[in-house]
Amino acid sequence: MRYEARFLDEAEQARVHETSQRILAEVGVRFHGERALPLLAGAGAEVDLESGIARIPAGLVDAALASAPRGFALGARNPAYDYPVPSPVSRYAIDGTAAFVRDFETGERRYGTRRDVEEGLRVFQAADMGVMAWAPVAASDAPAPSRALHEFVGMLKACSKHGQHELHRRDQAPYLAAALVAIAGSEAAVRARHEASLIYCPVAPLVHDGPMLDAYLDLGDLDLPVMIMPMPIPGTTGPAGLLANIALANAEALSAIVVFQVAHPGRPVVYSSAVGSMDFRSGAYLGGTPEMGIQSGALTTMGRFYGLPATAAGCTSDAHEPGPEAVIEKLITSLPPASAGADIIVGLGEIDGDQTLVLEQILVDNELAHLCERLVAGVDGRAGAELFEDVAEVGPGGNFLAMPATRDAARSGEFYEPSLIGRVALEAWQERGRPSMYGRARERVREILDAPMVDPLPDAVMEELDRILAEADRDLHD
């Protein structure tokens, strides 16, 4: 009796799809860069080279959807963390590329560094609900032309789960390819294992970034999966209505699927989204709202409509500090995509509109992920779950404490036992110094950072990665 929610009924799913097809065919999408427009023109799109706009017919969309794989495994450097998608359960990714970090020692909000990338991912490694790493902050101390490479490689060094990140320039692609080959051992292993993927966000509304898209197309020969994450915001970069914004985000996702499949048919893609809302008083972006959760649930439903692996942003908060507000917002933005069946929910570890990494928040969010999983799992409806014989044996006025089923229930998954939420009597809680969920998480973070790194790369591989980064630092220029 699994709990499931559908945020769009079948007729509404068809409306979103039809509206998106009309947007693509009649309004079109602007593609910057060198590679996309010639590819689309050759595939039958109506291309205006002067404006950069391609109008994509429905038949081309249908062909691209037919070409995209329905399932594959997101590999990991440690194969124990391989994650096949679609998945029967929802798992989580750490949020990525925040500008700031809340310093674990001082509490200061400061710009992120390469060390913060490493420490964030070492903590994420210990989060058992997490399956996909992402560089959680921008490494402000790395040279700007090669910064994305430092973040990507730093992530792959620090965490042995599947890793995703982004590139910003076409000239970064050869260095990333060299790093991935150094870690996997060969180009064939990179293609076969899919241990790393690329996250790609169209520029709302209806624009594709040229340098990033060209870089991703160049990496298509390595068959790197692409998570396509449109981000229109109702009333600013998207139309001011939830259904309309969902249709626009869907159109942007479809346009990206088309170009990646035209370039490399059969390349793995993941349908995703990160669609927040706007504060109508200030115009500011909001990520911790019910509307964000609703749109994530609806777009997860559209990913399932197309039969594709489907992920979504969630577990997001606009709170400026860890605490109750962050927990409330993260729960209301996690439950919708989880109940809609998202394969991965992206958002662990960050607050402040996805702009500040907090190390202990990673573990608090992992606890929230367990709570969401338990809610979605619903009621155990297997044969015999009624326990009629127990009811008959105990009868009116008795109790069930001594029943074998009670003992078994204490060790079953039907009753979740949290690891950070304290469940002790008031007096015991006071005697222990009134510990909190965040306090327990801080203790665990300290233990993780004081312990040796899990699954470290061999020294020779680390040296090769450092050489590749040094070469990129030397050769790439603004």
Decide: pTM greater than 0.85: yes
Q: How far apart are CA 421 and CA 274, in angstroms?
A: 29
Helices 290-305 and 10-22 pack at an angle, to 10 degrees, of 80
356 belongs to a structural domain: yes
What pLDDT, on the 0 to 100 scale, is given for residue 202? Answer: 98
Domain with 134 in it: what CATH number? Answer: 3.20.20.480
**15 inside domain:** no
Is residue 372 in some structural domain? yes
φ/ψ region of 81 (left if φ > 0, alpha if ψ in -120 to 50, else beta) reads alpha
Residue count of the chain, please give it. Answer: 478
Is 49 within a domain?
no
167 falls within a domain: yes
Confirm whether 410 is domain-assigned.
no
Q: Which two tokens stand for residue 144?
A: 């700007």
User: Does 12 fall in a domain?
Assistant: no
Phi, psi of 340, deg, nearest 5? -85, -5
Q: Which domain holds residue 204?
A: 64-377
Tokens representing 123 are: 């903590």
pLDDT at 293: 98
Which pLDDT score, from 0 to 100, does residue 6 have?
Answer: 86
Predicted local confidence at residue 1, as pLDDT: 63
Distance CA 96, CA 475 (A): 26
Rounded CA separation 274/305 (Å): 18
Cα–Cα distance for residue pair 162/346, rounded to 1 Å: 13
Contacts of 232 (CB under 8 A, 6+ apart): 204, 205, 238, 245, 248, 249, 252, 275
Residue 405 lies in a domain: no
What string of pLDDT tens digits covers the 478 residues of the chain?
A: 677 888 999 999 999 999 999 999 999 999 999 999 999 999 999 999 999 999 999 999 999 999 999 999 999 999 999 999 999 999 999 999 999 999 999 999 999 999 999 999 999 999 999 999 999 999 999 999 999 999 999 999 999 999 999 999 999 999 999 999 999 999 999 999 999 999 999 999 999 999 999 999 999 999 999 999 999 999 999 999 999 999 999 999 999 999 999 999 999 999 999 999 999 999 999 999 999 999 999 999 999 999 999 999 999 999 999 999 999 999 999 999 999 999 999 999 999 999 999 999 999 999 999 999 999 999 988 899 999 999 999 999 999 999 999 999 988 889 999 999 988 899 999 999 999 999 999 999 999 999 999 999 999 999 999 999 999 999 999 8
Amino acid present at 199: I
How many domains are there within the chain? 1
Work out the angle between the directed axes of helices 290-305 and 324-340 (0-180°, nearest 10): 20
